A and B are shown apart, each in its own frame.
Chain A
């Protein structure tokens, strides 16, 4: 199985901040990387697919990028509704695997 790691595991930020979360896979996954947002008691919501493609309807302050073997999710100008837990997931092969999550809370 491909192991996914995320850093940091949690962070505190203020409204308006720029926040970056990093995900790394235990082997090459090409660009088969997704980002999800989950709020308490709710199902995850797909934000980014194929590492950098923004799902329709997702605000443009969310962006995905690749730097070497690191996949990054950046929120440019954190909004109150963005406080949540973020997960990465690979779909390069099976089984699909998720990162452990990054909780973004209010400073």
Chain B
């Protein structure tokens, strides 16, 4: 059974860097079939796609976050990560990792990140 699990600090101070990791189990992150994605959901709002990474390290980000977001992959640990720099209160959200094949077919449970001093 494929499972994804996000982890990372739940509280980040403004101007600092948000760092999250997604542990993948039940499938190799080195598979050439999937893209590994990050999505967030602002409080009471809809879903915002942040970006994804392919197993060889190719990345794509949504333009509004491209200058601040970095997604990386660690095939030895079967995990991928998100770093978002210079955060503000507007980055407070539930962050999800997900697998994309035909659609985002497996999601983590989500982790809440609050940006506050």
Shortest CB distance B97–A (Å): 10
Most buried by B among A1, A44, A89: A44
In the bound complex, residues from chain B placing their C-beta under 8 Å from that of A97 are: 49
In the bound assembly, the distance between CA atoms of A87 and B45 in angstroms comes to 12
Which residues of chain A have a CB within 8 Å of any CB of chain B? 1, 34, 36, 42-46, 49-50, 53, 55, 87, 89, 91, 94-101
Asked if B26 lies at the interface with its beta carbon under 8 angstroms from chain A, I say no
Give the number of A-B contacts (CB < 8 Å): 59
Interface flag for B62 (CB, 8 Å): yes
- Number of B interface residues, CB 8 Å? 22
Known: A94-B60, A95-B63. A43 touches B108 (CB 8 A): yes
Docked complex Cα distance between A100 and B37 (Å): 19
Considering the complex of A and B, which 9 residue pairs feature the smallest CB-CB distances, nearest first?
A34-B103, A43-B107, A95-B62, A49-B103, A96-B49, A49-B102, A98-B47, A46-B103, A94-B60
9 further A-B contacts with Cβ under 8 Å, apart from A42-B109, A50-B103, A53-B102, are A43-B98, A43-B110, A44-B96, A44-B107, A45-B107, A49-B105, A89-B104, A96-B52, A98-B49
